[in-house]
């Protein structure tokens, strides 16, 4: 897997790629084994599930990411648990994050989730609304916008996701040109077990891998 990442980096001209282990439904013992093999970045989809794992595995030398949809009623827990929210997908969520973070006196790095395929079943900001959304984040000084995240439409052929990843890279460059003072476009989080190589070739510097590390999820999970 790491060899495949290195090869994709060469093709994409990407200097560094952060490998986030996606651990939805994965037991803490198996996550601990991955940590012993060098994994330091862990992504969770659900606040309640993540809380139990953080209690067991701790935070030392581990960075925890929220990579699933974050409900507003879970924000008060999420800001204390995670090192980054990768799924900022609406202004109401931004407002709640800002309110809770201000109360705690802390800042939170966030990635804006882009609904790159304009799918009704997925969350995220439509591409044509992205600049407007990021411009609006200036009203939320406790949010540190660090980049973009996406989940493209699924395909059994990874090459079919390439245009979506290429468009994400273009969007990131367009945002950079705006020189928003409250934004640092540093992270492009895209690519999962089926298509991470294509994502890296198109500019991803963070990938979220689950099945390729831990195997298939248990049925019904």
Residue with tokens 């959304």: 133
Structural domain spans, the chain: 2-27+87-212
Radius of gyration of the chain (CA): 17
Question: How far apart, in Å, are the Cα atoms of 214 and each of 21, 60, 190, 197, 204?
Answer: 9, 22, 19, 18, 22
Q: What are phi and psi of 165, to 5 degrees?
A: -65, -40
Residue with tokens 């895209």: 190
Q: Which pLDDT band holds residue 49 (cuts at 50, 70, 90)? A: very high
According to the CATH classification, is domain 2-27+87-212 in 3.20.20.10?
yes
| pLDDT higher than threshold 80 for residue 73 | yes
Q: Which pLDDT band holds residue 221 (cuts at 50, 70, 90)? A: very low
pLDDT tens track for 87-137? 999 999 999 999 999 999 999 999 999 999 999 999 999 999 999 999 999
| pLDDT value, residue 89 | 98
Which is more confidently placed, 12 or 205?
A: 205
| pLDDT value, residue 198 | 97
Mapped onto helix, strand or coil, the DSSP state of residue 41 is strand
Nearest to 61 by CA among 46, 83, 85, 86: 83
| Mean of pLDDT values over 7-29 | 94
| pLDDT value, residue 216 | 80
d(CA 38, CA 1): 13
| Mean of pLDDT values over 38-60 | 96
pLDDT tens track for 123-142? 999 999 999 999 999 999 99
Residue with tokens 């809380």: 51
pLDDT tens track for 154-210? 999 999 999 999 999 999 999 999 999 999 999 999 999 999 999 999 999 999 999
d(CA 123, CA 167): 17
| pLDDT higher than threshold 60 for residue 13 | yes
Residue with tokens 């803490």: 28
């Amino acid at each position: 897997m790491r060899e495949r990442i290195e090869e994709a980096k060469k093709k994409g001209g990407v200097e560094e790629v952060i490998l986030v282990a996606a651990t939805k439904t994965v037991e803490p013992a198996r996550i601990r084994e991955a940590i012993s093999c060098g994994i330091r970045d862990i992504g969770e989809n659900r606040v309640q599930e993540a809380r139990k794992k953080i209690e067991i595995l701790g935070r030392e030398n581990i960075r925890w990411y929220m990579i699933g949809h974050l409900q507003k009623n879970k924000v008060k827990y999420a800001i204390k648990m995670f090192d980054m929210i990768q799924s900022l997908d609406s202004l109401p969520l931004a407002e709640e994050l800002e309110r809770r973070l201000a109360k705690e006196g802390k800042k939170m790095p966030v990635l804006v989730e882009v609904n790159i395929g304009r799918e009704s079943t997925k969350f995220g900001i439509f591409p044509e609304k992205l600049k407007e959304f990021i411009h609006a984040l200036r009203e939320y000084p406790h949010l540190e916008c660090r980049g973009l995240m996406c989940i493209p439409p699924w395909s059994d052929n990874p090459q079919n996701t390439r245009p979506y990843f290429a468009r994400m890279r273009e969007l990131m460059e367009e945002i950079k040109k705006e020189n928003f003072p409250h934004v640092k476009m540093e992270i492009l989080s895209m690519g999962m077990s089926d298509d991470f190589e294509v994502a890296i070739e198109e500019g991803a510097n963070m990938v979220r891998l689950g099945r390729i590390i831990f195997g298939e999820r248990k049925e019904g999970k």
